[in-house]
Every structure is written in structure tokens, then in C-alpha cells.
Amino acid sequence: MSDRSASGEGAPAGYRERPASRLPGAQIWTRPAGGGPEEDTRVLPDGCMDLIWHEAADGLLVAGPDTRAHTSRSTPDAGWAGLRLPPGVAPALLGVPAHELRDRRVPLAEVLPLTRARRLTARVDRATDRGAALERIALELAGEPPDPLCQAVAAGLRRGRPVAELADEVALSPRQLHRRALAAFGYGPKTLARVLRLRAALPLITSGRPLAEVAAATGYADQAHLTREVRALTGLPPGRLRSHPAGTAA
């Protein structure tokens, strides 16, 4: 999936997402104030990074790529909006290697100059459509394009190609590819492959398909392998994910 899903408590009330209009593969998500009770949301790894506006925060936030489930506290009196950027895209916009933000949520002012970060935050504060405002900011931040080599590797990993084969195809040693992937995705290609395989398996798990079928369809060795990987990356066994479907971000 390309969305950063939550599980355990399901999607917070009022949560919505839509494709970004001018950033291919990006998603805009929102949760207005008053959208429901205070609750914890389990955000699952997806390889993405998010630019986030939160009504109660002093400035925009950046959510780095996750290697494990992250718990986010949603409060009913503060609205949220976010722009979820597909793997490898945000580092080119922000000018910071993804691995420096791995498993972190940091103020944008730690990534960009303070004055600029405050100016961008003020623009989103004033906007009627805060998700669209975040997209416009991302387009303005665009500097170097995402690493085309790493984008090709990510596409191959989504198709289940072995990392060693992909390294040979792009004429890099495994160590060189690992270094490029750390900057683009926040972790090496083997970890990205695990995360992308999880993303492919999640909708099948929550749809109720037998776990042995899910494992065979998404590249796991067997059902036991699927169960181990799901638990390692989400903190929950597949049965818990099935009873509390994924579907939010923050």
C-alpha cells in the first residue's frame, strides 16, 4: 500500500485521504478537529515519509521512514493534515538523507532554516485546504529529483526481485547499493523489501484470505514466515491486524 496505515484502533473518526494532484504517488490525508474521541493509533511501516501540519504543534513536522510500528496520539480538539510522500521522494525535497530521520518525528525547523520553516507553517495555518497547501510547499521545495537508480530498485523490490539481482542490474556492489538506499529510503534494500512485502500482504490479511494463501501470493516462504514478519514489523500477529483493519496515518 502506499498509505501509512494504522492498526489496533482502526482509522480515527473523520480521517480522510486523497491522491495528491501534482505529485505522483503522494497522498494527502486529513483529520479535522472534533473528528472523534482521543485515541491511540498504531502507524505501520510503509517506507514513506510525511510532511505534517498539526493544529497543536508549533510548526510543521516531518515523519521519517519507520522500521517498526509507531503509536500516535490523536486528540479531538486539534486537526491534522499531512502529505505522504512515496519511498525515496522526501529526501530530494528536504535535502536531508532519509536515514537521519528514520523512526523519528521532527520539526521541519530541524531540517530547514528556522525562518523558512516558520514562513511555510504560517502559510498552511492560513490555508483553507491545508493538505493542498502542503502539496504546494513540497513542489516549491523540490530540488534534485529522486535518485533514479533507487527508484528503479524500489520498483523491482515491489515486484519481488531479489536484492542481489537488482544490484547486478544497476552495476553496483551490495555495499554501494546499501549506501544509496540508506540516503533515499532510510534503510537498506533488504529492509525496504520487507516493508514493501508487508504493504502488499496487509490488504489481503485484512480481507480475510487464508494466511497460507497470503504468504504464497506476496512472496513469503510460508505462513510461519509471514506471521514472524508481520509481528516483527507491526508488533501484532496477523489475527490482530485482521480484527482491527489498517487504514490511517499520522
Question: 203 with 228, same domain?
Answer: yes
Those residues of the chain that have pLDDT short of 70 are 1-13, 35-39, 74-76, 143, 242-250
In a domain, 205, yes or no: yes
Beta carbons of 94 and 141 less than 8 angstroms apart: yes
**24 is in which domain, residue-wise?**
16-141
Residues ≥6 apart with Cβ < 8 Å to 136? none
Give the residue from 81, 107, 141 where a domain finishes. Answer: 141
Give the residue from 98, 125, 141 where a domain finishes. Answer: 141
Answer yes or no: pTM beyond 0.75.
Answer: yes
Question: 226 with 193, same domain?
Answer: yes
pLDDT for 35? 56
pLDDT for 130? 96
State how far the Cα of 161 lies from the Cα of 118, in Å rounded to an integer. 43
Question: 51 with 159, same domain?
Answer: no
pLDDT for 179? 94
pLDDT for 240? 87
Q: Are strands 16-19 and 80-85 parallel, antiparallel or unpaired?
A: unpaired
Give the residue from 141, 164, 196 where a domain finishes. Answer: 141
Question: 178 with 134, same domain?
Answer: no
pLDDT for 211? 96
Q: What is the CA angle 83-85-86, rounded to 5? A: 150
Question: 184 with 91, same domain?
Answer: no
In a domain, 11, yes or no: no
pLDDT for 36? 60
Question: At 172, which CATH number?
Answer: 1.10.10.60
- 242 phi/psi in degrees, rounded to 5: -70, -35
Question: 153 with 127, same domain?
Answer: no
Question: 153 with 134, same domain?
Answer: no
Question: 33 with 93, same domain?
Answer: yes
Number of domains in the chain: 2
